[in-house]
Amino acid sequence: TGNLTGNVTGDVTGDLTGDVTGDLTGDVTGDLTGNVTGDLTGDVTGDVTGNLTGDVTGDLTGQVLTASQTHITTMANLTTVGTIGSGTWQGTAVADDYVADDLTVDGGDIDNSSIDGSVIGAATAAAADVTTLTVEDGTIMNESRDQAGDVLTIYDDGVGNLMTVSSTTGVHINDLTLNDSFSLTGAMSASTYTTTAGDPVNDNELARKAYVDAQIAAEVSAVDCYDYAATASDITNSVGPSLIYYLNGAILFYEDDSAGDQANGGNGYEITVYGDGFADGQTAVLYVRGTSTDLVTGNNWTAAIGGASATFDLSYNEVVAAAGGQTDGVVRAHLVVDGKNSGLTFKFHLDSTSASATTASFN
């Protein structure tokens, strides 16, 4: 139980509770509770509660450190340790030989580093399954060009695919919304339809159906005109009631009742136009070689109830005026309703020299 100031080279079979200021080279089979300032080369089978300031060349198999002890120094050949439950490693980097080949990084980051001194997967490609992937620069897929088929698949929130990129058939997108510009240098086909919200400004822009329909409606009349006929006449003749005259399919206008009297210049026909879409309030203009005749004002343009026909009056003198003074021969005129060409062309024939025919003389 006393202090030893020299070297102890023999075995101690009991407890050693004093300080040893020299080397302890023997075995201690009991507890060592004193301080040893020299080297401890023997075995201590009991507890050591003092300080060991020298070298320990044997094995330490018990609880070596207590909560109050902070470090082990100058142990260059420590080969086996137990489990380090907590704490922060503050030593030099762990050498590659002491790091397992297969690592699991759970909730951590691998920042600004490479694997095997190169880009991850550059030498030997491997699969990866991640929840979030952020790519700062370029992305290359199928670099080896040995994948035939889909190289990128994005699932939707249901049971299908939102988008796939195939090395053989291109990009397949179920639904595509473009919020900005889109430039297409090749051809594009759609098995159903494409949509666009805005109206086109340039010739190479897509147009939505509503825009196309509006443009067509703006250029095409709402009135359909099928045919026309002279349905009433106030042209006089020398022997009987007014007649309706046709010559070679043209409505015939006489200037004279008797030759040279010009008695029928202001007379003519009520002409009926057949079709649908006629209505009150529409404009109706007759065009002959660029000259227009307003049929609503002065010519009694009237739409029939139900819109299946419309009538107007027209005299010999009015046809002559519209034709720029032509008094004889064929005159063709075109009907425009509400500013749109109806597509209907009238054929008139003017006669300024003959007396208006009677039934007998005409036949």
Averaged confidence pLDDT in the chain:
81
Q: Judge whether 330 and 348 are in contact, CB under 8 Å.
A: yes
Residue where the block lists tokens 């009694």: 300
Residue 195 lies in a domain: no
Count of domains forming the chain = 2
Indicate which CATH number applies to the domain containing 348.
2.60.40.10
Residue 31 lies in a domain: yes
Residue of higher predicted confidence among 259 and 37: 259
pLDDT at 10 over 80: no
Range among 2-11, 316-325, 352-361 rated most confident: 316-325
pLDDT interval class at 363 (50, 70, 90): very low
Domain boundary among 39, 56, 85: 85
Domain boundary among 85, 119, 144: 85
Q: Judge whether 233 and 242 are in contact, CB under 8 Å.
A: yes
Residue 319 lies in a domain: yes
Residue 151 lies in a domain: no
Domain boundary among 53, 85, 117: 85
**Partners of 290 in the β-ladder:** none
pLDDT at 279 over 50: yes
How far apart are the C-alpha atoms of 172 and 66, rounded to whole Å? 66
Residue 273 lies in a domain: yes
Residue 212 lies in a domain: no
Sheet with 309-315, side-by-side order of all strands: 224-233, 268-276, 309-315, 302-303
Residue 301 lies in a domain: yes
Q: Judge whether 50 and 33 are in contact, CB under 8 Å.
A: yes
Cβ neighbour number for residue 323 with a 10 Å cutoff: 19
pTM above 0.75, yes or no: no
How far apart are the C-alpha atoms of 30 and 26, rounded to whole Å? 12
Q: Over the stretch 64-108, which tens digit does the pLDDT of each residue have? A: 555 556 566 655 666 666 677 777 777 788 877 777 777 777 776
Q: Of 309, 302, 229, nearest to 276 (Cα)? A: 309
Query: Could you list the residue range(s) of the whole structural domain that residue 9 is in?
Result: 1-85
Residue 131 lies in a domain: no
Q: Over the stretch 223-234, which tens digit does the pLDDT of each residue have? A: 999 999 999 999
**Lowest-confidence region among 181-190, 221-230, 232-241, 312-321:** 181-190
